[in-house]
Structure 1
Amino acid sequence: MISRLPLDRQLESLRVVLSRNDVLTEVLSRAVTLELPGWYVTAGCLFQTVWNVVTGRPPAHGIKDYDLFYFDGGDLSWEAEDTVIKAGRTVFAGLPAEVEIRNEARVHLWYQGKFGVPCPPYDSSEAAIDSFAATTCCLGVRVEADGQWRVYAPHGLSDVFNLVVRPNPVLAPRAVYEAKAARWREQWPELTVLAWPSTSPVPPSRSD
């Protein structure tokens, strides 16, 4: 069982599993050329690739898009982000999937309007990944200029490989978690979805 391997071997297993998704590996390869600060390919395209491989499905089954985060706190304008998004359309042209690019330094400017709760400003892409609705989602991968993979997995990899969806009640509302979990379970009925806790912890301030 992969989740019981030493961490270094889990990371290698993750790389091997993710590499079976040809779209994902192409996104990672092309993303390097954008030279974005603090970038990661993250969220569903990663853990859903693992779910697919573990359950014997095609590696790209059910993946609706590929999220690319970066962090540029020097320019919080929509115009700067849009310039990157347009560059991404050129770089990722021809792929059979949408690549959604977002500057995580700007999330606090629009998050409350979309989700109904305020979001303190992030100080890094990693901080943004930390706040996903499920700990299973808290995973980011990028390829360095020398070809080495860098993996950010603050909650480890056991739940990802064991098909466990665990709530992460630090920012996103319960309704967001439950809606996502229900949608995932329709496509991957093997999932074990854990209930939202009856009392959610108060999110730490970004200065802690």
Structure 2
Amino acid sequence: MPGRLPLPDQLAALRSALSRNEVLTAVLARASALELPGWYVTSGCLFQTVWNVATGRPPAGGIKDYDLFYFDDSDLSWAAEDAVIRAGREVFAGLPAEVEIRNEARVHLWYEEKFGVPCPPYDSTEAAIDSFAATTCCLGVRLEPDGEWRVYAPHGLSDIYNLVLRPNPVLAPREVYETKARRWKGEWPELTVLPWPD
């Protein structure tokens, strides 16, 4: 069980599992070419690939989209972010997946309107990953210029390997967690969903 291995072995198992998703490896390679500041491919496409591999499903099965986060606080305009999104459309053209690109330096400008709670400005992509609705989701991977994988996993990897969904009540409302949990439990019934704390 990878969740009980020493951390270096867990990281090796993560790379092995993620490498089986050919869409994901193509997204990582193409994202690297965009040279976005502080970028990571993050969240669902990562842990859901691990869940698929762990449960014998096709590695890319059930994955809705591929999130690409970056952090650029030099220009907080929508026009600047939109220019990156449009460049990304060209870079990711032909892939059988939707790649959603977001500048995490801008999230505080729209988060409250969408989710009903204010979001303090982030100071990095890592800070944005820290605030996902489940600790299990707090995972980012990117390819460094030398080809090495950089992994950001502030809560470790054990829950991902053990198919445990654990709430992270730091920002996202309870209903966001519970909605995601219902959807994912429907797709991966092997999941253990831990309740939102009272």
Matching of residue 42 in structure 1 with residue 12 in structure 2: no
> What is the 5 A alignment of 1:53-202?
53-198=53-198
Cα distance in 2, alignment partners of residues 9 and 56 from structure 1: 20
Q: Secondary structure at the match of 1:36?
A: coil
Q: CA deviation at 1:73?
A: 0.6
Unaligned runs of 5+ residues in structure 1 are 199-208
| Cα distance per residue 1:21-42 (max 9 Å; x no partner) | 0000000000011000000000
Q: CA deviation at 1:197?
A: 0.2
Q: Which amino acid aligns with 2:177?
A: Y
Matching of residue 21 in structure 1 with residue 17 in structure 2: no
Q: CA deviation at 1:184?
A: 0.2
Q: Which amino acid aligns with 1:98?
A: E
Seq. identity, %: 80
Q: Secondary structure at the match of 1:170?
A: coil
Cα distance in 2, alignment partners of residues 15 and 50 from structure 1: 10
TM-score normalised per structure 1: 0.95
Q: CA deviation at 1:138?
A: 0.1
Q: Which amino acid aligns with 1:155?
A: H
Q: CA deviation at 1:158?
A: 0.2
Q: Which amino acid aligns with 2:114?
A: K
Cα distance in 1, alignment partners of residues 60 and 54 from structure 2: 12
* Aligned-CA RMSD value: 0.3
Q: CA deviation at 1:71?
A: 0.1
Q: Secondary structure at the match of 1:76?
A: coil
Q: Which runs of 4+ in 1 moved over 2 A?
A: none
Cα distance in 2, alignment partners of residues 3 and 43 from structure 1: 18
Q: Which amino acid aligns with 2:127?
A: A
Q: Secondary structure at the match of 2:154?
A: coil
Q: CA deviation at 1:63?
A: 0.2
